[in-house]
Amino acid sequence: MEKILVVDDELSMREFLEIMLKKSGYEVESVSDPEQAVLRVENDVFDLVITDILMPKMNGLELLRKIKELSPDTIVVMMTAFATTETAVEAMKEGAYDYITKPFKLDEIRMVIEKALEKKQLFRENVLLKQELKTRYNFGNIIGSSPEMLKVYELIQRVAETKTNILITGESGTGKELVAKAIHFNSVRRDRPFVTINCGAIPENLLESELFGHVKGSFTGAVSNKVGLFELADNGTVFLDEVGELTLALQVKILRVIQEKTFKRVGGTEDQRVDVRILAATNRELEEEVARGKFREDLYYRLNVIQIRLPPLRRRIEDIPILAQHFVEKYSRELGKEVIKISKEAMDVLARYHYPGNVRELENIVERSVALESSNVILPETLPPVVYKREKEPMALGDVTIPPEGLPLEKVVEDLERRLLFGALRKAGGVKKRAAKLLHLSFRSFRYRLEKYGIDLSEP
């Protein structure tokens, strides 16, 4: 129930508004002077304050300023019998929601109050959404607060309730399946099946049967009818992991499911109808696969209606501490250990490592360290030797090799620049001006580069 405070030195007006508002289902209090109103706002939370402007001791504009200082979220509606354009404009500038002139009609005051409280409700919903976004640094086990990951969370929220097919891309170990699960379990299909199919892990001659089922006698070993994974997922979500591994023949069958929502079991003649949402993931560049004739263009566009690209861990190194601590807590529980954190020295080592295996590799490193650590803090000597191997210096051009398939130059250069920015900030203790000097940049140029990569640090 919304709570309203009425402030007016006229008893008849206070009583009138109290009666009218209580009949409308609101919880109402009234006071006769602004100083009492300030005390009530200090000690309670009101959704709406309706106050007169001309009152003894303190006028309504002064009261408005104090209310906004004490409770910025409280909506304030001003009323007076002596309205002027100047006072109206000043009230609105100070944060009043609206301005009503006495005498007013009953319908008029009701409409203003309803709209004011509707605005309050929208504000609450917006706050809840923002809080929800913050808590969803962990969609299942997706963790991180870097700008790149915040964009991923926002995109997950925006696409979850749609029926659209989604393509999730990124290197191995970046958490593509976790994103697929987050989309499913935040959608209207959350109570229906979520079925994962690893297209690269099942032998080609068995994959069609796994996907679509088979009828008895359709091939050697088919001793009974079998329901496929698409049927099991009816009204739910199918996650095609490593979809780039599908043969062209199976790609045709997947395309038919998407377009017609039907398929045939292996050896069967009857169409089976299903309603599934398809999420797909790949660590390949499917556009290049299409150009080489390895992946059907029509299927690519059916799957890639919306794409969520997960950044590699080396491009969001600010997430390493929160991820590492999460895995410490997870494996301490699972392994029955009392390890509570990672020492600063060990964390510095982890922050410098390149993680070719991404988040999955970091998790494995922490699991191993928790298992081996004899104290309650992970020390540098407990970390595996691999993290001490110095990554090849990007500046040493003689060490750079171009693979047969080539490499994306702009991405590599951006990656290097981003790593150097973070390296300078670490060396400068987070002080931006000092970090800029280390890179022989003007402070303005350094700040521009931070903004370019969405790096928002509070230090000067």
Q: Give the CATH number for residue 95.
A: 3.40.50.2300
10 Å CB burial of residue 259 (0-12, 13-18, 19+) is exposed
| Better-predicted residue by pLDDT, 138 or 407 | 407
The answer, yes or no, to whether residue 132 has pLDDT greater than 90, is no
Tens digits of residue pLDDT in 264-273: 989 888 888 8
330-344, 375-389, 420-434: the lowest-pLDDT one? 420-434
The answer, yes or no, to whether residue 390 has pLDDT greater than 70, is no
The answer on 356 and 258 residing in a single domain is: no
The answer, yes or no, to whether residue 401 has pLDDT greater than 80, is no
Q: How confident is the model at residue 459 (pLDDT cuts 50, 70, 90)?
A: very low
Task: Walk across the sheet containing 306-309 and list its strands.
Answer: 194-198, 237-241, 277-282, 166-169, 306-309
The answer on 350 and 236 residing in a single domain is: no
Helix (H) or strand (E) holding 260: helix 248-260
Q: Which of 320, 316, 315 is nearest to 412 (CA)?
A: 315
Q: Does residue 277 fall inside a structural domain?
A: yes
The one-letter amino acid at 21: L
The answer on 300 and 182 residing in a single domain is: yes
Q: How confident is the model at residue 239 (pLDDT cuts 50, 70, 90)?
A: very high
Non-local CB neighbours of 303 within 8 Å, separated by 6+ positions: 165, 167, 240, 243, 258, 278, 280
The one-letter amino acid at 191: D
Q: How confident is the model at residue 199 (pLDDT cuts 50, 70, 90)?
A: very high
Mean pLDDT of the 317-329 span: 92
Tens digits of residue pLDDT in 340-381: 999 999 998 998 888 989 999 999 999 999 999 999 999 999
Mean pLDDT of the 180-191 span: 90
The answer on 412 and 360 residing in a single domain is: no
The total number of structural domains in the chain stands at 4
Mean pLDDT of the 281-309 span: 93
Cβ atoms 365, 350 nearer than 8 A: yes
Cβ atoms 206, 247 nearer than 8 A: no
228-237, 403-412, 430-439, 450-459: the lowest-pLDDT one? 450-459
Mean pLDDT of the 430-449 span: 86
The Cα–Cα gap between 360 and 364 comes to: 6
The answer on 287 and 152 residing in a single domain is: yes
Round the average pLDDT of the chain to a whole number and report it: 85
18-27, 62-71, 157-166, 417-426: the lowest-pLDDT one? 417-426
Q: How confident is the model at residue 426 (pLDDT cuts 50, 70, 90)?
A: confident
The answer, yes or no, to whether residue 395 has pLDDT greater than 50, is no
Cβ atoms 314, 415 nearer than 8 A: yes
Q: Which of 130, 155, 170 is the last residue of a domain?
A: 130
The answer, yes or no, to whether residue 396 has pLDDT greater than 70, is no
The answer on 303 and 231 residing in a single domain is: yes
Tell me: cis bond preceding 380? Omega within 30 of 0 counts. no
The one-letter amino acid at 78: M
The answer on 74 and 35 residing in a single domain is: yes
**Which pLDDT value is given to residue 83?**
59
Q: Does residue 400 fall inside a structural domain?
A: no
213-222, 383-392, 427-436: the lowest-pLDDT one? 383-392
E-only strand ranges, 141-193: 166-169
- Tokens 């190194």 appear where? 317
Query: Percent of the chain at pLDDT above 70?
Result: 89
What pTM value is reported for the model? 0.57
* Domain extent at residue 91: 3-130
Q: Give the CATH number for residue 442.
A: 1.10.10.60
Tokens representing residue 153 in the block: 């969370």
Q: Give the CATH number for residue 197.
A: 3.40.50.300
Q: How confident is the model at residue 139 (pLDDT cuts 50, 70, 90)?
A: low
The answer on 104 and 61 residing in a single domain is: yes
The answer, yes or no, to whether residue 55 has pLDDT greater than 70, is yes
The answer, yes or no, to whether residue 86 has pLDDT greater than 80, is no
The answer on 215 and 123 residing in a single domain is: no
**Which pLDDT value is given to residue 133?**
45
The answer, yes or no, to whether residue 278 has pLDDT greater than 90, is yes
